Amino acid sequence: METHILDFVRAFGVRWFVAMSGGLGVPLTVFSYFVAGDIAKFILFLTGVGCAVFSSYWVWAVEHEARLKAEALVYHPFIDIEQSFIFSDPPKYEAWKAKIIPKKSVNNVQVCLEFSADSGGVGYNFRRPKRRLVLMENVNFVLGAEVQIDLIELNNSSDTPFWQWATNMHAGEPLVFTCHRCRLVFIAAQEPPDYLDFIVDFHYEEKLSRDGKTPPRYEKTPSLIGEHRFLYAREWKASASPPNSERKRRRR
């Protein structure tokens, strides 16, 4: 309890005007009692109350925003994030898909892809700004029924195959950058947006010739890391924390 009170008091010093408003609130309110004149008393009293309310609101607003950001990392309204994952589609492995398991039924969901590209270099034009593409429209999610979403696919229409986003809007546009930080966004009319984060990382893989005489070639190959791989910290923390009964027994 003592630690929490000290943390609350320190929060007023995050910004100077919060500390000033909080420090002036009580003195102005008390001083209004000794000032002559009803109007002056009223103005000082309102000023003191206003300073106290403003400083308290600002501390609350900062903590509230931090809580919303923390909840956004783990809160998923209708996607079962622990059961959903990204996989390569056999037998040719020329496509990557997301397998989404809904934890509630939601109709008319729009599935969008947000991504930013990074070449891994330093300087101008080594990083592309975030973009958004529409992958699917009016998708009906049913509780427990999987929904497969195409993410990237290998385009073999030219002499040099290349990987592209699995959308007709950008067909023929190769993914030339090394790393893509991506997010699937699920938008429904009566639900808050849900998200699935993943990373697309390209590397060059050596392909040996079948006859043993042709020089080996290097093929650009993608690897996808889904959000279920990001949850290890939360899983480790949950497994490391003993149950309440165990904690009480240890204290004794």
In the predicted model, is pLDDT for residue 31 greater than 60? no
Please name the residue that has the structure tokens 């809160």.
Answer: 75
Please name the residue that has the structure tokens 């480790």.
Answer: 236
The string of pLDDT tens digits covering residues 206-231 is: 766 556 566 556 678 898 988 777 76
What is the chain's mean pLDDT, rounded? 75
pLDDT of residue 220: 81
Q: How far apart are CA 164 and CA 162, in angstroms?
A: 7
Q: How far apart are CA 16 and CA 29, in angstroms?
A: 20
The string of pLDDT tens digits covering residues 89-136 is: 887 788 999 999 999 999 999 999 999 888 765 555 567 788 899 999
Please name the residues in contact with 98: beta carbons below 8 A apart, sequence gap of 6 or more. Answer: 84, 85, 86, 148, 149, 151, 184, 196, 198, 226
In the predicted model, is pLDDT for residue 7 greater than 70? no
Report residue 133 as tokens.
Answer: 């593409």
